[in-house]
Amino acid sequence: MIYKIFTMSGPWYECSGPSLKDANEAFNNYEINGVVVSNVIVKKCIQDEYDKHGGFGSWRGWATFGKSRISKDIVEKYNSRQKRLDDLRNCLVDSSIFMNYVYDRLYRPGGLRSNDVKYNS
């Protein structure tokens, strides 16, 4: 039986690849439309990609495919999170019970905004 021993038979960028630390550094302070994305979302997308493929492959594959897949996942998760937050915000604004509570906390005597309103009106 013949065993093939794998050695570095190609360029370094095809034989070695990034680690989780390298991937986290590449997406540190990732921005979408000037807004820095939460590290929770970024790390989750990086970990999902790592778990799906058992690593990131070579540096060449990382530069060609890996970074773009992770970027796409981050944008999708960020947009879905923003949509959920917008839906929640709209639901709360439409709730008269919640808005009455907010107005009471803000504008009652001794409330959070009562002094500003009293002196600026």
Q: Could you tell me if 49 and 41 are in contact, meaning their C-beta atoms sit under 8 angstroms apart?
A: no
Domain definitions of the chain by residue range: 12-111
* Alpha helix stretches (DSSP H) within 1-121: 12-15, 20-26, 39-53, 59-61, 67-94, 96-107, 114-120
Q: Could you tell me if 61 and 52 are in contact, meaning their C-beta atoms sit under 8 angstroms apart?
A: no
pTM: 0.67
Per-residue pLDDT of the chain (121 residues; tens, 9 = 90+): 454 444 566 777 677 889 999 999 999 999 998 889 989 999 999 999 999 988 888 888 888 899 999 999 999 999 999 999 999 999 988 988 988 998 888 888 888 887 777 776 5
Using only the alpha carbons of the chain, give its radius of gyration. Answer: 25
> Hey, what are 103's tokens?
């107005």
